[in-house]
Amino acid sequence: MDRNMFFNLVIACVTTHIVRSVYEILKHKKVVKPTKLSFVIIFADMALLWTSWFVLCGLDIYRIDLPAIIRYAGIAFSGAGGIVFAIALFTIKSLENHEGDLITNGIYSRIRHPMYLGFILWLIGFPIFYGALSSFVLSFFFIANVLLWRSLEEKELVERFSAYRAYRKTTIF
């Protein structure tokens, strides 16, 4: 495996996380208003983020030999993350800036941020499946990043929906 390719993938993952975080912070501070162009840019950023992440995990140059049962648990986490994400996407029918009422049906009746939960499961599961040590270590920084996005969204939802505080008490994550 080419070390340069590996480090380029790490740089791509880190850069795309930074881009998304800067966007979320600027959006939260109302410096940037979500538009179709910003959606396209962030969608492309997220596509690059996840593509580089999945490839990085498979090509990680630092490996741990894990028992098969643990590796398969990793792929189960990843699969569960994909299912949770897909169910959330089909429920909300939007990737950005839902303009309607607070969604509290379907998966949203139990989990407030199922897409972010799906991301976290991918971040944990893929490096475990591949026995990818550096990807696993990176996943903790990336999970912290996803939790930042979630935190900013929580603040927006509290401001936007009067029922959100009560909804938050009846759901997880």
Q: Which domains does the chain have, with CATH numbers?
A: 3-169 (1.20.120.1630)
Q: What are the pLDDT digits (tens) for 11-54?
A: 999 999 999 999 999 999 999 998 889 989 999 999 999 999 99
Which stretches in the chain have pLDDT values below 70?
1, 94-98
The model carries a pTM of 0.92
Q: What is the model's pLDDT at position 97? A: 58
Q: What is the model's pLDDT at position 93? A: 77
Q: How far apart are CA 107 and CA 92, in angstroms?
A: 10
Structure token pair of residue 164: 């959100």
Q: What is the model's pLDDT at position 100? A: 77
121-152 burial, b at 16+ Cβ within 10 Å, e below that, comes to: bbbbbbbbbbbbebbbebbeebeebbebbbeb
Q: How far apart are CA 172 and CA 159, in angstroms?
A: 19
